[in-house]
Amino acid sequence: MGKILVTGGTGYIGSHTVVELQQAGYEVVIVDNLDNSSIGILDQITEITGIKLEFHQLDLCEEEKVKELISNNPDITGVIHFAAHKAVGESVQLPLKYYRNNFFSLINLLTAFTGRDINFVFSSSCTVYGQPDKLPVTEEAPVKKAESPYGNTKQISEEILAETASVNANYHVIALRYFNPVGAHETALIGELPIGVPQNLVPFITQSAIGKRGAITVYGSDYNTPDGSCIRDYIHVVDLAKAHIAALKRQEAAKMEANFEIFNVGTGTGSSVLEVIHAFESSTGVKLEYKTGARRPGDVEQVWGDVSKAEKELNWKAELKLEDMMRSAWAWEKYINEHPL
């Protein structure tokens, strides 16, 4: 098995993917600047897998340090690139923060691998679609003007990767456009660990349920959806992590049809904000306090994905249900409340 560099590997999706990589037999090197994660996650991963990790605290925007790291690891065969700022609302308020971090980190990584054969899996997002004309949205849908700077960084990053792969035959790139990852590992030893006030729905739900936050605000009650709240395709983070392994396997088996490929990664089912709240209540037995508020800038009304391409070509399928996501997220919240990292 190869050695895989995981950027942002102590983060939410990154940590779960590291677990799946190690359990699949890969050697893993993590790079993270710990801007939005905790060093304590490394011990949690090791407790799950029983395998020690190689970790480098590094800002990928520092070009020379990135080159040095890659030069010192000539046996790296693959990269899974998670490291990026990712909050839609914050990106609207701080666009330069997002453009600087998300572009410089990607460009520095690609530059550091110049001349080397590399499998590169990119953490993209369904935000590249904006509000699709047709649902479920397929990979062939037009990429519309982004609703937020965060979404724009994903769109442009995909363009950077496609253009780089088109003129460098040694770069094999798969962009996974994921929908909304939620939930936590079945051990409850790793999960979503937002710094400060959560920007995403489910960690706000769990923090509200445990008493860290007040009432949940449902942003928008007048959308053109069955209950007036936004609809998203929520996917369990463990299912999502396994999709990255499937992408690497495709690259390693030389099954890619082009040097740049795109796959939707979701469940193929949309759930509204209110449905998520009710699923949490029914699966945990905990009642939530919530209220409706104004629409939030940058939010898309509704989106869920056609994931048939990933199911067929990656031989991957989401297995866990919304109730599984809520139960595991709640178990993680209770764990982290008693064992803060």
Q: Which residue has the higher pLDDT, 11 or 196?
A: 11
pTM assigned to the model? 0.96
State how far the Cα of 11 lies from the Cα of 14, in Å rounded to an integer.
Answer: 5
Q: Where are the domains of the chain?
A: 3-183+235-266+304-316
List, as one string, the DSSP characters of 260-322. Answer: EEEEEES-S--EEHHHHHHHHHHHH-----EEEE---TT--SB--B--HHHHHHS-------H
Contact 266, 212 (CB under 8 A): no
Give me the pLDDT at residue 184, please. Answer: 98
Give me the pLDDT at residue 173, please. Answer: 98
State how far the Cα of 141 lies from the Cα of 29, in Å rounded to an integer.
Answer: 35
C-alpha to C-alpha distances, 28 to 117, 201, 305, 323, nearest whole angstrom: 18, 30, 30, 31
Give me the pLDDT at residue 88, please. Answer: 83
The residues annotated with a catalytic role in the active site are: 150
The HSE-up count of residue 133 (CA atoms within 13 Å, CB side) is: 7
Mean pLDDT value of segment 72-87: 96
Tens digit of each residue's pLDDT (9 = 90 or more) over 89-131: 889 999 999 999 999 999 999 999 999 999 999 999 998 998 8
Tens digit of each residue's pLDDT (9 = 90 or more) over 129-182: 988 999 999 999 999 888 889 999 999 999 999 999 999 999 999 999 999 999
State how far the Cα of 148 lies from the Cα of 146, in Å rounded to an integer.
Answer: 5
Give me the pLDDT at residue 130, please. Answer: 85
Exposed, middle or buried, 226 (CB in 10 Å: 0-12/13-18/19+)? exposed
State how far the Cα of 261 lies from the Cα of 241, in Å rounded to an integer.
Answer: 18
**For the domain 3-183+235-266+304-316, what is the CATH superfamily, name and number?**
NAD(P)-binding Rossmann-like Domain (3.40.50.720)
